[in-house]
Every structure is written in structure tokens, then in C-alpha cells.
Amino acid sequence: MTFVASSIVVIGKIKSFGCSMYPLLHDRDIVYLQNNPSRQIHVDDIVVFRSNRRFITHRVVFKDSSFLIAKGDANDTIDGIMHKDRVLGLVNQVLRKGQMLDIGLLYMTQSAFYQKEVQEISDTFNRARLPFIILKGLPLHLYYEKTFPKRIYADCDVLIRKDVCENLLAHLRNRGYTRAKNSLVLNAPDEKSDELHYYKLYHGFPVVFDIHTNLVFLFANLPHLESLYPKKLSEQFLEKCLLRTRIISVHGNSYRILQQDLLILYLALHLFHHNMRGYHRYQFLDIVIRKELGKLGRKQRAHFWNEINMLIVQYKVSSFVYYVFYLLKIRYKTPIPQTFLANIRPSCLVLWVLEKTVTKKTMFDNQDRLTAGIQRFVLALVLSPQSIWRKFCLVVEPAVWLALIKILSLRLQFLFRSHTRNYLRNNRLNNRDGRVE
């Protein structure tokens, strides 16, 4: 969202233009500013700051003692690093079409509706004796952070056994949920997919359940590729996660989640699945690690990291998670022992590829699904624990060729649409110039 500094600023409020903060803020909303000292700015706050002769309102995605990083919710890239003195104020209210909206109340309302729906779904599954594990989502956020999130929280990841999948999905469909389609690949039937997305609108807010029958960290919509990761290890990791769980209580409701070491490893692998991008994923993993370490003494902490180290070695995922822990340590100052990082450090070639792919700045950026899928495939190919000759077997994988054909088709469609838009825009400009002359 951008603002013209010379003519639109009124005391305490500014008129916005653009869609960089959509859907939270709309074009021509009036945003009201609250003066807050820079030390009171937190991650996820919406701030207005000066950029040349413009005012911009975006979300804070990172902050330390001297600077902060902001980004529009609908933008793919950050605004760059800025000093806190450039912040003019926090946005706490929005006037839209004559109606005043309180942003904090909006977040709380959405989270309350979302949490209520998650609890009702949980009760439905429990009554039907359908075992499930919540991998991530609002219940874990409330358990670890003890407060509602300051952003729209829509999805909840659930792990189940494949033999109860169809029964569980039937209950979701009975409650009005619809399967979301994936435009990047050919959608497999429910019973053959490792990850399914079901959604519905609840009191006007989206609620999404991501149903996992496997702990997907490579490709959710492709058959398991033995050439990239051993299927046996994948099945063993899944079985361990299904067996090693614990019960947490959130607002008087009980949920089954992973044990601490498995949860941290899963969240790190989930970050790899998103090409090690997403400020809220790093922020939450940092909080989980700090909370769990806070319950332990010095010797127990050493044992804790040793347990995670053994899991990483056992399932051969050091190349996939090393850079996640490394970025946590250097960017968030997460208390991760240097010895732990040294024990899981991958080869020099892998490190070189990771450093070229993700930096301390791009870790906050977004990618479109097509670009993200291509980059994940390249990363998986380089970081895979399989031998080189096994990786070459990818050339005979039908699923890979089908995905490549789909990707090429989508890329050509994108280029054609872009070329058409540019051609029509140039025609309009030329016609306008002709009329002026």
C-alpha cells in the first residue's frame, strides 16, 4: 500500500492506494495510525513508514535491536532493511466504505471462529474413533505463544493413518468441506494422495485442513520418488511419528501432537518443503525451541539436541534441515549449539547450493507455486541422500515427465498471457499518443 505524502496525510489517518496488503487492506482504505515508540514494534505489526516521497504501510516480518524488515502481505519480496526511525506509526484501525474495522479485533474474531471449528472437527473425529495428530496450526500456536496470532490463520495440518483416511474425509465432506484442486499437477484420487487440502468458509473466514497420510517434505502431489529419498526411511519416520505423541491442553480442549524432538524436526522439514522461506515458519520454530529448552536443565538440553541429531542421522535428512537451523541461529539468535550444527553439517557442495538459493533476505520472500515447485525439485535433486546413479533413474519416472509437461504448459500459458497484456497495453498507449498529436 502506498500513499502520496504531499496531499493525503491527515492527522492520525492516511488514505491508501494499491493492493499490496490485500486481503487485509483494500485499495482506498483509510488507515488510522497509532504513535508507538520503536521499541514497542513487534513482528506482525502493520506499520507506516517513509520511502522517498511516499508513505508505505506493510507488515513487519523481522525485527532486531537496530533495524526491521517489512513486506506487503500480497507482495513476493521484502521492502529491504530499514532503521526503526523511518516508522511513522502503527496501523490499528481501518475505515472502509463508512465502516470502522479494528485490526486486532479482526484477528481475534477470525482466530476464535477458526479455533471453534478446529475443536468441533476434533470432537467429530474423536467420537468416530478416528486417531489423528495435529502437526501444526492454531492449537499449537496458542499452546506455545499463549495468545491469538496477529495475522489471518487459516490452515491446520493433520496426520492420520491411510486406512482411516476415507472415513475421516467423509466426515469433513459432511461438514461442508470441499477438496482444493492443485493446478500444478494432475490431481490423484483421495486414496492415492499423501496430502489433501479441504476447505470451507466459516462465518465468512476460510478454514483449511491439510490431511497428511505421510510426512511429506519433498513433493506432496507426486508418487514417492525412490530416486530422491528411500521409501523405507519415509515409512519408518511416519511410523515413529504416529507412535511418539503427547497430549496438550488448549483452552480446556485436548489435542494430540508430536513429541518435542519430532515436532522440531518436522517443522524444520516443513520449512524445507517451502524452500526454506516464510518468516512466520521461522518465528514459530524459534518459539518452540526456546519454550522446550526453557523446561530443561543444562544436561537435559545436551541430551535433547543429541536426540534430534540422532533422528536427523537415522533418517538421512541433514542436507534438508541444516540450513534451516543455521538461519535460525544467525538471524533469530535461536539457542542452537554450535556442536549440533557441526554434527549435521552437509558437504561443501550442498552448502554452496544452499547459500546460492536462500539468503538472510530471501528467507522472508514468497514464491509463486510454479517457481517454488521447480526450485524444490532442483534442491531435492542436489540434497538427496541417494547415490548419483539412483538420481539418474528419475529420467524413467512417468510422474516426473507428467509434472514437467504440466509445468511447461503452465509456463507457456503464462508467457502467452503476459505477451498479450503487454501488446494490448502498448496498443492503448500508441492510440492515446496518436490522439494527442
Q: How many CB atoms lie within 10 A of CB 259?
A: 14
Q: Could you read off the pLDDT of 246-271 as tens digits, one per residue?
A: 999 998 899 999 999 999 999 999 99
End-to-end, the C-alpha distance of the chain in Å comes to 35
Cell of 437: 498529436
Is 143 part of any domain? no
Is 291 part of any domain? yes
Is 301 part of any domain? yes
State the pLDDT at residue 421. 67
State the pLDDT at residue 39. 62
Residue that finishes a domain, picked among 76, 97, 118: 97
Is 55 part of any domain? yes
State the pLDDT at residue 310. 97
In the chain, how many domains are there?
2
- What domain range is 342 assigned to? 259-365+373-386
Distance CA 406, CA 338 (A): 43
Distance CA 82, CA 47 (A): 12
Distance CA 72, CA 84 (A): 17
Is 435 part of any domain? no
Is 278 part of any domain? yes
pTM score:
0.85
Residue 197: closest CA among 47, 374, 183: 183
Distance CA 296, CA 293 (A): 5
Is 129 part of any domain? no
Q: Could you read off the pLDDT of 83-112 as tens digits, one per residue?
A: 888 888 888 888 888 888 888 888 888 899
Alpha helices in 66-174 (DSSP H): 103-127, 138-145, 165-174
DSSP string, 145-205: H-S--SS---EEEEE--GGGHHHHHHHHHHTT-EEPP-TTSPPPPGGG-SEEEEEEEETTE
Is residue 124 within 8 A of residue 177, CB to CB? The reply is no
State the pLDDT at residue 167. 92
**CATH code, domain with 75:** 2.10.109.10
Mean pLDDT of 337-349: 94
**Per-residue pLDDT band at 10 (split at 50, 70, 90):** very low
Is residue 33 within 8 A of residue 48, CB to CB? The reply is yes
